[in-house]
């Protein structure tokens, strides 16, 4: 039981990173109904940007993370402008295939320039372990949780309280009507990609620090699981993405604690199937009938 409780606590830290990435998926889908499968590669590139800033310029972790978020946000905007905007009025399958293509392009570009070798992420924050009874928690785990929660709260404030946030909500409901009301739809969509990419970069750097390793393929599986988290919570719903992310982290760690670490990915997919059979729209999703 002590091991299971310890793994539940660990699952909160892992789930917070999945939640950050899932927010990027769900915001983009909520705005333009696109699954941005290149999101995992933004997470990976964010980790590499932080890696080079810390190594080459001796930056602290948090200044490097802020610059990594800014750089990744700019990359997200460029990807949206070059790859997705020209296909906005095309079929969804065309946009989906393009997203997969962008994912492989970024992945292989990084492998070409930086090789596929695993690199040790600079340990700029010394790890300390705290004990609370039988529980063990490190300062890096706490940092991951608090930074993730801070970014989620900040995102919620941006969406709910700012002018751009109101524009995002309007475009997600009806882009044509929003444009008639004077909202710059292209700018709003680009801002959404920038926000999602910045969150993914923060997650990539924190995971790089926690596991002390980064490599060009590191975004594939977390990206897929974050997409599952977004679907599990209710794709297009921001609180649902956060709940789904924490749920995926807890499922993985519980499966590991029970001695089935080889089947943790299968457990995630099995829970997703079960939830969608019971609630096809996800945990917080609502079934909405579309007009034909």
Domain boundaries, the chain: 2-120+130-278
Average pLDDT estimate for 187-207: 95
The predicted structure's pLDDT at residue 291 = 45
Q: What sign does the dihedral 222-223-225-229 (CA atoms) show?
A: positive
H or E segment at 136?
Answer: strand 135-138
CB 283 within 8 A of CB 233: yes
Angle at 208 between CA 234 and CA 29, to 5 degrees: 25
Q: How many helices (H) and strands (E) does the chain have?
A: 11, 2
The string of pLDDT tens digits covering residues 29-46 is: 988 888 899 999 999 999
Residue with tokens 């034909």: 292
Query: Which tokens sit at 140?
Result: 């890096």
Give how far Cα 201 sits from Cα of 151, 170, 197, Å: 12, 26, 6
Average pLDDT estimate for 59-77: 96
Judged by DSSP in three states, 273 sits in helix
Does the domain at 2-120+130-278 match CATH 1.10.3470? Answer given as yes
The string of pLDDT tens digits covering residues 222-253 is: 998 999 999 888 888 888 888 999 999 988 88
Bridge partners, residue 138, by sequence = 129
Residue 206: pLDDT band (50, 70, 90) is very high
Residue 1: pLDDT band (50, 70, 90) is low
Average pLDDT estimate for 3-18: 85
Please give the Cα distance from 113 to 106 (Å, whole number). Answer: 11
CB 70 within 8 A of CB 198: yes
Tell me the whole-structure pTM to 2 decimals: 0.91
The predicted structure's pLDDT at residue 287 = 57
The string of pLDDT tens digits covering residues 70-116 is: 999 999 999 999 999 998 888 888 988 999 999 999 999 999 999 98
């Amino acid at each position: 039981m002590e091991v299971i409780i310890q793994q539940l606590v660990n699952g909160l830290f892992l789930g917070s990173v999945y939640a950050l990435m899932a927010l990027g998926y769900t915001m983009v889908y909520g705005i333009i109904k696109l699954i941005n499968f290149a999101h995992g590669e933004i997470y990976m590139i964010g980790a590499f940007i932080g890696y080079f800033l810390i190594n080459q310029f001796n930056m602290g972790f948090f200044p490097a993370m802020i610059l990594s978020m800014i750089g990744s946000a700019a990359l997200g905007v460029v990807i949206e402008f070059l790859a997705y905007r020209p296909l906005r009025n095309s079929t969804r399958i065309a946009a989906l295939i393009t997203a997969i293509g962008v994912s492989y392009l970024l992945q292989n570009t990084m492998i070409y320039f930086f090789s596929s070798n695993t690199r040790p992420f600079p340990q700029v924050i010394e790890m300390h372990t705290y004990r609370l009874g039988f529980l063990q928690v490190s300062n890096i785990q706490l940092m991951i949780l608090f930074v993730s929660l801070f970014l989620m709260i900040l995102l919620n404030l941006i969406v709910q309280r700012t002018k751009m946030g109101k524009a995002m909500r309007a475009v997600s409901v009806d882009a044509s009507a929003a444009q008639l009301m004077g909202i710059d739809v292209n700018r709003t969509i680009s801002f959404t990609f920038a926000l999602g990419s910045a969150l993914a970069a923060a997650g990539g750097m924190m995971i790089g620090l926690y596991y002390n390793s980064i490599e060009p393929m590191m975004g594939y599986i977390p990206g897929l699981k974050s997409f599952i988290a977004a679907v599990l919570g209710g794709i297009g719903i921001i609180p649902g993405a956060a709940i789904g992310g924490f749920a995926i982290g807890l499922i993985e760690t519980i499966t590991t604690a029970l001695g089935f670490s080889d089947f943790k990915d299968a457990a995630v997919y099995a829970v997703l199937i079960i939830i969608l059979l019971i609630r096809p729209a996800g945990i917080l999703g609502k079934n909405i009938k579309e007009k034909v």
